[in-house]
Structure 1
């Protein structure tokens, strides 16, 4: 097995310089680092993680706290996680996923064991107890999401206002005036005051007020089964809706199936837009959904950068809000003529 001396001899540097690179304890010029890393690759040298941790009193491990038992691991969530893992690796950290509850008790036990250098929080509530816990324990952390008042916190998040504006504007420009929002069910305890649901609801109500159309908001639990159920509920309470924005990846396919079962064609009778969705998930539906994608890759990267800067004493990364891309599928079209006539009647009455 190759040693640091072997690497030093191959790269033509001192053992101390090799140690600086291996342990990331002192700056080394780019050209010298390249020579050392090339020598390490040629010799098959492997860093001794335990030795480094003992020497630096750091583990080089970051934990991503994701409440997987309460929140489904959607396709877009996987994009956040895999992007964060890649970025952590590029900074010589390892990312582990902790499927711990939002109530903070289990997180306190894990953090107290000194297993990680820092924590990333996902699925953030407006009053998230994990934030106060980490602050009280002096544990560096960053958020993918944000609390109601994120002042002073390192966070990145989706720009929900802009994302929903893209969804509604597309339907509006096609001629839809009866537009409903199907978002998450906040009556489920783990989703109470859940930031994305609250902000999506607020954005919808603002846009409805600005454009002058009636607010129609339905809450759905996550899952295809519940998407089918919400299709029935939507048809019952607002049968003349012609445009729908749905903010739940797993429920979106169920919504389409439910509408089909009820004899409502997409997009001929009802147009559907998926908000904050992974493009693969949207295009797995029938018909492929028009969607605003989740900027998971970008936000996963930025969140790790924010946390690493905090850990290494760099300049804090300013808060970041990002919007995904608008992708046109086959689930949207102008409303049926009867829908346009009903909307015109409402405006003149």
Structure 2
């Protein structure tokens, strides 16, 4: 499905904007030249307005939510109101509504009976992960190898989605890009959220879009986890940071909290006795380190900071190589952990 196809479908839906709204936003009502409803997930209320007719302000079908700041077109309405994750499902649903023939021979059109999942919710995150595939042999593996991360043991929480839905924040056309999908879990292993890193079509880098990383779900205190934490573990902000350090000390469990604020709030396993904080070399990283040290001390956990030479540990890995990174980390570890973890990595 090309961008032009999606734009054409959005235009066709706009010509039937009121019928689309009555079907997918049934908790709303017409108010002059607009459809008024609580939000794009069909909640009752008056915050969201859908334009029903073309006007100098914009085409029919465009909508804005005054409370949340969200905006989009009628393809977004279909996606969010039904809780769809894969953009191909959104396209199929739009074609079914418009009674358009399938673009190529295939099974008869079907109506979706999926119970809506609120946008950005843990359930939406779980659905996205469920329709993704393991990273082995995919563009995710290509992307990580390009960042110097070649040992991918313990990466069962990373997945690949070939056509992950991306909506630009400037009201531009909906796009699909391949993406690395990371499962965010609590200490018990329950998925609470997901993190998306959109990738270039060849996996050589992140996608050339304004916001190539976005998270969804319940993130506070949780993390993307690599390995099973015991009495010692390491925690950092980014996925690439955690995996870079794991190249040097592969036997140590890692956790990526996805931001400095979430790193500061990272939950501690009951078994934990020593925590290595993978600091990013910036003011936000310093603040997260200080907060995490204070919380760890209060919980009776020894906290030790590991600092990179450059901005973060992935920069170090790519610039200096894994052996130099291992040597740099070695002198920062507690002596007992050098023997315990570094001997295995030699």
Compute the TM-score of the two structures, normalised by the length of structure 2: 0.29
Query: Whose strand fraction is larger, Structure 1's or Structure 2's?
Result: 2
Structure with more contact order per residue of length (Cα contacts < 8 Å, sep ≥ 6): 1
Query: Whose helix fraction is larger, Structure 1's or Structure 2's?
Result: 1
Whose Rg is larger?
Answer: 1
